[in-house]
Amino acid sequence: MTILPVISEVRGRPVVAPMARPFTTASGSVPAAPLLLLDVITESGVVGHSYVFGYTPAMLPAMASIVRELAPELIGEPIAPTRRTQELQGRFRLLGMQGLLGMVVSGIDMALWDALGKLTDQPVAGLLGGEPVALRAYDSYGMVDPQRDERALRDSIESGFQAIKIKIGYPDAARDVAVVRWVREIIGPDIELMVDYNQSLNPPEACRRVERLREFDLYWVEEPVAAEDLAGHSSVRRATGARVQTGENWWFPRGFQAAIAASACDFAMFDIMKIGGFTGWMLAAGQAQAVSLPVSSHFFVEASAHAMAVTPTADWMEYLDLAGAILLDPCRPVDGHVTAAGPGLGITWNEKAIARYAV
């Protein structure tokens, strides 16, 4: 019987990493990636890595503090990801898993799976019963500018991407229409096009705007209303017939359960940092299969490629590089597809870059 090594240290290191393509949304801009890098160190010398995204640098000190507070709960325990995650969920049952705590717990879960993969010399996808496969990906843009972004969009298509996502939700609805029309003309009729409102509209305005986009053959309309407004998402679906995508802001599998009950969406988008790491993702993937909902990923391309490889209703990978600047071997698409690396998550820190971008 294999005895799992025990945890000797858990640490979180905040960085603000430059991005090859900073992005702007209807709800704010992300000029660089505020990341908390997580290391789970074992007595045997195996170290599990993962990272979580703070949205704004202002959240990084609080997230690092949570890691320090959780560390005593983990030190001396074996690297058994599901068991450790269940224990942390039980420990904070009264508080709940929403917010920064849930993000950090999910990140620890990912790091534990990474450590287990390194221990066994397997990719995490293999530990979950599958194997790395080439997954179709869409190239994910923010709000695009016709003067600035035409060459980049053409480069995306020429590199093999078969789908593009852009963010809209401009103050003027006519601007939404003009930008979507321009992008459709650039990429042509055979490339899938998705739009993301980033929760910027109320349901009546969402219905009005989505109707005006009908001619552009959109693959999905993402988060047209506030993420927690499940009834609003459902009403947009019913009123417009548009295929609605949401899910990146669901907290753990029960958040997905509520969306299913509300008939909120045609697609599910799992954020591995909010769905509960790999442990939560696998539970949610079973729910998606049971109701035949296609699943796409949100951010975290390195980890999501493993999770999507074992998701029965896998649809699209989102390709948006948050961490490439602090990795020795960043995950890069090949002919519009992303394949998981290993062992573990295939993550190796670039320590010189981390020192440069540390905050």
How far is C-alpha 81 from the chain's CA centre?
A: 19
Maximum distance among all alpha carbons in the chain?
65
Place of tokens 């649809």: 315
Judge contact between 344 and 48, C-beta under 8 A: yes
Catalytic residue status for 298: yes
Q: Which amino acid is at 182?
A: W
Tokens matching residue 350: 């670039």
Judge contact between 138 and 161, C-beta under 8 A: yes
Quick one: which H or E segment has residue 196? strand 192-196
Q: What is the DSSP string of 111-137?
A: HHHHHHHHHHT-BHHHHTT-----EEE
Q: Determine which one of 165, 167, 233, 274 is catalytic.
A: 167
Q: What is the DSSP string of 30-60?
A: EEEEEEEEEEEEETTS-EEEEEEE-SSGGGH
Q: Which amino acid is at 259?
A: A
Q: Are strands 163-167 and 135-140 parallel, antiparallel or unpaired?
A: parallel
Q: Which of 3, 88, 16, 87 is nearest to 55 (CA)?
A: 16
Q: Which of 313, 323, 332 is nearest to 357 (CA)?
A: 323
C-alpha R_g of the chain: 20
Q: What is the DSSP string of 279-306?
A: HHHHHHHHHHHHTT--EEE-S-HHHHHH
Q: Determine which one of 49, 233, 298, 306 is catalytic.
A: 298
Question: So which residues are the catalytic ones?
Answer: 167, 298
